[in-house]
């Protein structure tokens, strides 16, 4: 079992590396990124000039698309490798995005943004206290009336899988293998990634805490949010079998 309490920052920096980038276009093809961008705009009611912060922005697959729509975007990530790619892509698209190397548990902004979002399971990397700290930091970064959006696997649908489970992604002759187990006592998914590239095999591990909607409601209200809504994948109606749980909270 992965020791998710050892050093989560080091674990994240190791996992989100060149191997992650190498397979990214296969895992997140352009059409999927376009759909996600449209869903985020709708859920957050974004307009040209809206100020938005993405936590865990990665290589800018959403952030730069939002900037193309005239949104004023800031992206924070812990991985310098991913941020370098994000900046290169922003330059190619001729958009201006503020990219910041940082930790979502400690943000420098107060009352600055109209919206904050964490897309595609970028929440839950830490222990209980630090996960809640992320929500408090997000709330502090938002103006009064601002919105926070969190997109994560729906734990209820997730648990119908047979564990451990395995997925394989291929790019040319290279393979990315995810072996995932689930700890029902802690509600954490533990991922072992095996990347096979250029005759070499590299392994990394990542642990993610999965929350249900009632848990989100409690945490978000403690963080200072007034109301919390639930949606399914890309803003659809949430049901027991929805593959994703999308939470929108209003400050």
CA distance 67 to 21: 21
Q: For the segment 115-152, what is each residue's pLDDT rounded down to a tens digit?
A: 999 999 999 999 999 999 999 999 999 999 999 999 99
Residue 139 is assigned to a structural domain of this protein:
yes
Query: Strand, helix or coil at 207?
Result: strand
Q: Classify residue 202: in a domain, yes or no.
A: no
CA–CA dist 167, 92 (Å, integer): 32
Is residue 47 a part of any domain in this protein?
yes
Residue 33, Cα to own-chain centre: how many angstroms?
Answer: 13
Q: In this model, does residue 3 exceed pLDDT 70?
A: no
* Predicted pLDDT at 42: 98
Residue 196, in any domain of the structure? no
- The count of structural domains within the chain is 1
Q: Is residue 207 in a domain?
A: no
Indicate whether 232 pLDDT > 80.
yes
**CA-based angle 54:58:61, to the nearest 5?**
80
At 6, is the pLDDT very low, low, confident or very high (cuts 50, 70, 90)?
A: low
- Residue 78 sits in a domain whose CATH number is 3.40.50.150
- The pLDDT tens digits for 188-224 are 999 999 999 999 999 999 999 999 999 999 999 999 9
Does residue 201 fall inside a structural domain?
no
Nearest to 197 by CA among 17, 29, 19: 19
Phi-psi region of 173 (alpha: psi -120 to 50; beta: other; left: phi over 0): alpha
For residue 89, what are the domain limits? 8-153+212-250
pLDDT at 161: 83
Q: Which of 21, 34, 85, 42 lies closest to 62 in space, CA to CA?
A: 34
Bridge partners (DSSP) listed for residue 246: 151, 231
pTM over 0.85: yes
**Mean pLDDT score of the chain, rounded to an integer?**
95
Length of the chain: 251
Closest CA to 79 of 128, 29, 9: 9
The whole-angstrom separation of Cα 102 and Cα 18 is: 19
| Distance from C-alpha of 141 to C-alpha of 129, rounded to nearest angstrom | 19
């Amino acid at each position: 079992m992965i020791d998710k309490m050892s050093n989560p920052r080091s674990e994240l920096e190791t996992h989100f590396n060149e191997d992650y980038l190498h397979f990214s276009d296969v895992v997140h093809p352009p059409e999927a990124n376009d759909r996600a961008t449209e869903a985020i705009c709708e859920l957050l009611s974004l307009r040209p000039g809206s100020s938005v912060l993405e936590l865990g922005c990665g290589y800018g697959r959403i952030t730069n698309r939002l900037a193309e729509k005239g949104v004023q975007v800031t992206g924070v990530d812990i991985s310098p490798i991913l941020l370098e790619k994000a900046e290169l892509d922003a330059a190619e698209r001729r958009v201006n995005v503020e990219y910041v190397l940082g930790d979502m548990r400690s943000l420098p902004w107060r009352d600055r943004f109209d919206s904050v979002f964490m897309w595609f399971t970028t929440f839950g990397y830490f222990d209980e206290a630090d996960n809640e700290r992320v929500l408090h930091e997000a709330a502090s970064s938002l103006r009064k009336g601002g919105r926070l959006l969190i997109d994560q696997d729906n734990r209820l649908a997730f648990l119908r899988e047979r564990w451990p489970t395995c997925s394989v992604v291929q790019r040319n002759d290279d393979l990315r293998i995810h072996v995932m187990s689930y700890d029902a006592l802690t509600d954490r998914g533990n991922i072992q990634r095996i990347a096979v590239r250029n005759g070499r095999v590299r392994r990394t591990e990542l642990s993610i805490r999965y929350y249900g909607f009632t848990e989100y409601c409690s945490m978000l209200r403690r963080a200072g949010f007034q109301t919390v809504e639930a949606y399914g994948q890309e803003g659809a109606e949430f049901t027991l079998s929805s593959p994703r749980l999308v939470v929108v909270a209003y400050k």
